[in-house]
Amino acid sequence: MAPTILHAVILQATSRSMIFRKCAECTNKIIGVAQNVELRSAGVLYYCPECDKDVDKYKANYDLQLIVSVSNGQKIQQAVVYDEGVSRLLGCSADKLCELLLESPALLDEIEEKLIGLRCHLVTRQEKKKKGKKPSNNVVIVDAIIPADPRFRPVFVENEEET
């Protein structure tokens, strides 16, 4: 099925929970087991239920949940953008953002400020069917967010030029 393009305005972006981690070995989602800074520095961070062990090697990924207004505000729609779509929009990978957040946790607020109110074109696709699960009809899967304003620049273009 061909992708659909929606003309939208981003009303809400959940940047605080947009990063999740996958096990480097099996690529399944891992569970955080240490909130404590000392435990994190000791390498005890995450547990992989699939591998049934603590893991210290992982890959960060994006899962950005959005609320958008489409069709000139006539419809409010939930949308989700995964790794590649968010990386292009922000100008950095999820792994790089994790590094930047260690130095400046306020970056998540900057991301939200830049995204909320953004007029854009959403390149969408139909959700893939998973074994035993029905696709969610009320959430749109977004492959790319194309800002309508040609002057828009990714959030981290300025940050990378400074370093």
- pLDDT tens-place string over residues 95-148: 999 889 988 889 999 999 999 999 999 999 876 655 555 555 678 999 999 999
pLDDT at 43 over 80: no
Domain boundary assignment for the chain: 4-19+61-162
pLDDT of residue 159: 45
Rounded average pLDDT over 86-98: 94
CA distance 41 to 5: 44
pLDDT of residue 160: 45
Name which of 31, 143, 30 is nearest 81 in CA terms. Answer: 143
pLDDT band at 84 (very low <50, low <70, confident <90, very high): very high
Rounded average pLDDT over 73-89: 91
pLDDT of residue 162: 42
Q: How far is CA 31 from the centre of its chain?
A: 17
Fold exhibited by the domain 4-19+61-162: OB fold (Dihydrolipoamide Acetyltransferase, E2P) (2.40.50)
> Does residue 142 contact residue 26 with C-beta atoms inside 8 Å?
no
pLDDT of residue 122: 95
pLDDT of residue 34: 65
- Residue 98 β-bridge partners: none
- Nearby residues of 157 by Cβ (< 8 Å), 6 or more positions away: 91
pLDDT of residue 44: 54
pLDDT of residue 13: 95
